[in-house]
Amino acid sequence: MNNLLLKSSYFPFLLIFLTLNFPLKILSQPVPIHTIFEVKGKVTVDKEQWNNPRAAWVGLTLKETDKLEVAANSYVKIYWRNH
């Protein structure tokens, strides 16, 4: 009886450990996060997986291979994370 009680008392701790450890493993992987945080005027983005360039928008994530075209009197601000 005491052995069963002892084994069942580990379950909540195991569950908490697994729940907390899973997101930490995902977050610890180095992922570049380059994000557009301001757009004014005509700015287009061309990604490799897109067929045609699209208008840039706030929150769009970028990779080093993406191409931006900024028209005259326009600008884009990007948070570029260096690893």
Q: Is 13 helix (H, G, I), strand (E, B) or coil?
A: helix
In this prediction, residue 31 has a pLDDT band, given cuts at 50, 70 and 90, of low
Distances (CA, A) of 55 to 12, 30, 50, 58: 49, 28, 12, 10
Cα gap 83→39, rounded to integer Å: 24
Q: Could you report the per-residue pLDDT of 8-24, keeping only the tens digit for each?
A: 566 666 556 555 555 55
> With a threshold of 0.85, does the pTM exceed it?
no
- Residue 48, phi then psi, degrees to nearest 5: -60, -35
48 vs 67: CA distance, rounded Å: 9
